[in-house]
Amino acid sequence: MNVCVFDLDGTLGHLRGGEAEDGNFVAAIHETLGAIEVDSNWDAYAHVSDYGVVDELFRRHRDRPPTRDEHQAVCSAYLRRVRAAVERGETRFELINGSAEAVRNLRAEHGWEVALATGGWRRTALYKLELGGIDMNGRAQAFAEDGPSRATIMQTALNRSRSANGRAFARVVYVGDAAWDVRTCTHLAWPFVGIGDGERGERLRKLGASHVLPDMSDLAAFVTALDEARVPTPA
């Protein structure tokens, strides 16, 4: 059996409208750390995960790592803001075309196990999956709490999937949308399928992605990409 490990934000879906993702995340950090400067170019951080970003900001501005309670305070503030925006109708979780169907049908119809590895906190990720109607029950999952690095999160998801299935996998492919996804796959020597169109898709190709699709609406094409994808090789 093979396993497809999905990223969440930008890959399966994303928050749209209002302050959406970045604005609410930065506001949640300000609630805990005060009016500090927060660079929302997440690619500039050593570890692109909620845990990693908060950890780096605390070390930079408080000269110490955050406590577990402080991590959870930022998570709670972020989740509270997103829930309120959704309830007001300002924000929604918009699915990438075909993503819910891919998660639902890959195993039954194509023999691929499915897992989730996201840089988001567990509570916020599960809320987004709920909003999008994406059923990950019974599937291996790993979150920012398992990090802080993307490599650790992805490897944890794979290990959990191996344990749940009682076997090693013949092939492991990660599906993501960001530069850090490509770089982590190069580091782990995992084949990668990129999700993105226009400039985003072109950037993934330039970073070494062998297969990039605009979405997962054509499930047959997506499965072919999973079968053929290679480990990213930077130009």
Q: How far apart are CA 112 and CA 172, in angstroms?
A: 10
Q: Are residues 113 and 63 in the same domain?
A: no
Are the CB atoms for 2 and 170 separated by under 8 Å? yes
Q: Are residues 74 and 105 in the same domain?
A: no
Q: Are residues 8 and 21 in the same domain?
A: no
Q: Are residues 192 and 223 in the same domain?
A: yes
Give the pLDDT confidence of 201-211 residue by residue, as tens digits. 999 999 999 99
Q: Are residues 99 and 209 in the same domain?
A: yes
Q: Are residues 192 and 224 in the same domain?
A: yes
* Best CA proximity match to 71, nearest among 53, 83, 84, 85: 53
Q: Out of 87, 104, 121, pick the residue that ends a domain.
A: 87
Q: Which domain holds residue 28?
A: 17-87
Total structural domains within the chain? 2
Give the pLDDT confidence of 130-154 residue by residue, as tens digits. 999 999 999 999 999 998 999 999 9
Q: Are residues 23 and 132 in the same domain?
A: no
Q: Out of 63, 87, 111, pick the residue that ends a domain.
A: 87
Residue 234 resides in a domain: no
Mean per-residue pLDDT, 121-135: 96
pLDDT at 18 over 80: no
What is the CATH classification number for the domain harbouring 100?
3.40.50.1000
What one-character-per-residue DSSP string does 87-133 give? HTTS-EEEEPTTHHHHHHHHHHHH-EEEEEE-SS-HHHHHHHHHHHT
pTM: 0.95
